[in-house]
Amino acid sequence: MERLLQVNDLEVTFQTYAGEVKAVRGVNFHLNKGETLAIVGESGSGKSVTSQTIMRLIPMPPGKITNGQIIFNGQDLVQKTDKEMEHIRGKDIGMIFQDPMTSLNPTMKVGQQIMEVLIKHQNMSKASAKDRAIELLKLVGIPMAEKRVNQYPHEFSGGMRQRVMIAIALASNPKLLIADEPTTALDVTIQAQILELMKELQKKMGTSIIFITHDLGVVANVADRVAVMYAGQIVEMGTVDEIFYNPKHPYTWGLLASMPSLDHDTKEELAAIPGSPPDLTNPPKGDAFAPRNPYAMKIDFEQEPPMFRVSDTHYAKTWLLHPDAPKVEPPESVKRRMRQLATSYAKPVLAKDGE
């Protein structure tokens, strides 16, 4: 498959009163055309900083790209000026943010906010841009689009506002769409509708998607591949099936086990990952997950593990995959939970629009 995006050894730091925070530490991944990659991890794992760095949206200073390349469509975005990035953002790369109420301008009609993108990046006339804005609102499932194009954000429900954000992001037919936790503020029913909408739009438009989330259950029915992030690094990457059915990193085990089961008959307690993520002003020596890892070995506290190859598409950053390491399987309770979750989230029940 043809690659649209290649991130190589990306490192991002922030200067704070407490010192330099190493927010992203040597991140590598790629995205193929027409593919959806989910980046998953706890708050503070570096997933949103990574996505915003691709868009060159991190404030500089205090943020700084200290190393790496972001090769998009054959160009290194790290080397682009702010002026050059203005022509790429919105036109070639679109972004959907977590909270549409803070992302949309409350003083502008939603139609005007879509039209702005079309006029700037597509050189449309106002009349043509308004017609296209109505088409986009219909495309993302907003009824009575001819009327609602003239309404303000506060006149829309949370789910409908997120649909407007998707319409704005898709206005210029971007090659890449970055969705930064786009369903976090929505209830489960509306969340399912938005996820299904994004899948349908991707099929129609062929857009590549990076989906940022802390919820592995969300990605099961959306992503082609998953990158699991912890402490500013990718610790496991594989296809959705590999991550759900054959996870190799203890952190991935913990994320899967800590998700609630949809089986009403289960009496299992919800698992939790003990401890807290490390302080990235002073990243720990060795494996950053070692203090929270019940399977940690002496080497985990002394030497950072490399990415071990499990298959052509599956890699994990854990010493447990070393040939000399003891053979450790996830506990049976974790295996059982993984099977339940994989089954439960594979086919979510979608309600019809009726917000």
Cα–Cα distance, 54 to 13 (Å, whole number): 14
Local structure of residue 319 (DSSP, 8 states): G
Q: Do residue 222 and residue 298 come from a single domain?
A: yes
pLDDT tens digits, 73-120: 899 999 999 999 988 988 899 888 877 677 789 999 999 999 998 998
Q: Of 148, 171, 194, at which residue does a domain stop?
A: 171
Q: Of 141, 171, 201, at which residue does a domain stop?
A: 171
Amino acid type, 39: I
Q: Cβ(11)–Cβ(188) under 8 Å?
A: no
Residue labelled with tokens 């001819």 = 146
Q: Do residue 145 and residue 210 come from a single domain?
A: no
15 conformational bin, left if phi > 0, alpha if psi -120 to 50, beta if neither: beta
pLDDT tens digits, 223-246: 999 999 999 999 999 999 899 888
* Boundaries of domain holding 88: 1-92+175-355
**Token pair for residue 1?**
């498959």
Cα–Cα distance, 37 to 4 (Å, whole number): 12
Q: Of 136, 171, 206, at which residue does a domain stop?
A: 171
pLDDT tens digits, 285-317: 999 999 999 999 999 999 999 999 999 999 999
Between the alpha carbon of residue 297 and those of residues 254, 320, 326, 329, the distances in Å are: 17, 9, 10, 15
pLDDT score recorded for residue 326: 92
Q: Do residue 82 and residue 107 come from a single domain?
A: no
Alpha helices in the chain, H assignment, sequence order? 47-54, 82-88, 100-103, 110-122, 126-139, 145-148, 158-170, 188-205, 216-219, 240-245, 250-257, 332-346
Amino acid type, 156: F
Positive or negative: CA dihedral 49, 212, 341, 316: negative
Q: Do residue 8 and residue 129 come from a single domain?
A: no
Q: Cβ(68)–Cβ(74) under 8 Å?
A: no
The number of folded domains in the chain is 2
Q: Do residue 305 and residue 240 come from a single domain?
A: yes
Q: Do residue 139 and residue 60 come from a single domain?
A: no
Residue 32 has pLDDT above 50, yes or no: yes
Q: Do residue 44 and residue 192 come from a single domain?
A: yes
Q: Do residue 299 and residue 335 come from a single domain?
A: yes
Name the pLDDT band for 333 (thresholds 50, 70, 90): low
Q: Do residue 190 and residue 58 come from a single domain?
A: yes
Q: Chain-wide mean pLDDT for the chain?
A: 87
pLDDT score recorded for residue 348: 42
In a domain, 195, yes or no: yes
Cα–Cα distance, 256 to 273 (Å, whole number): 10
